[in-house]
Homo-oligomer: A and B are copies of this chain.
Amino acid sequence: MIRKVNLAEKLSQFSECWSPKIVGELNNSYVKVVKVQGDFVWHHHDNEDELFLVMKGRLRMRYREDGVERDMHIGPGEFVIIPRGTEHLPSSDEETHIVLLEPRSTLNTGNVRSERTVEALETI
C-alpha cells in the first residue's frame, strides 16, 4: 500500500542516537532516519554507497580521501554521498537528525563490529 511518510513525525517516535530506523524501501535500498550525537566509529562499506541528508542540526563528516583525512560540515537541506570503500566517521556536537539512503545489505558500522553495530533494524 502506498503511504506518505512525514520525516519529522518519524523522527519524533524515538529518542536514542545511532539507531537507524527504516521508513521506506525502494529498488533494494532502504530509506532510514537516525539521530546522532557524539562520535561514531571509523569504518567503510565495501559494496555500498551511502547518502546522508541532514534534516536538523549539523553533521560533521570526517573521511579519508587519497590518503588524506578531511572533514565537512553538513547542515539542514544538505547531503553528502560517501562512496563505497571510503573510510568515514560521522560525528556531531549537537543532536542531529539525518535521512540515510543505502542498500538493504548495509550494516551501519560497515567493515567494523563495535558497540555501535545494529544488526536488526526496526521499521517505523
Decide if B24 touches A81 in the complex (CB within 8 Å): yes
Query: Which of these, B4, B49, B72, B81, contacts A80 with CB under 8 Å?
Result: B4
Per-position 1/0 for A1-38, Cβ under 8 A of B? 11111111000000000000000111101010000000
Closest chain B residue to A66, Cβ basis? B1
Closest chain B residue to A49, Cβ basis? B26
Query: Which of these, B2, B27, B72, B77, contacts A55 with CB under 8 Å?
Result: B77
Contact size class for A?
35 or more
Q: Does A57 contact B (CB under 8 A)?
A: no
Per-position 1/0 for A46-85, Cβ under 8 A of B? 0011110001000000010100001010100111111100
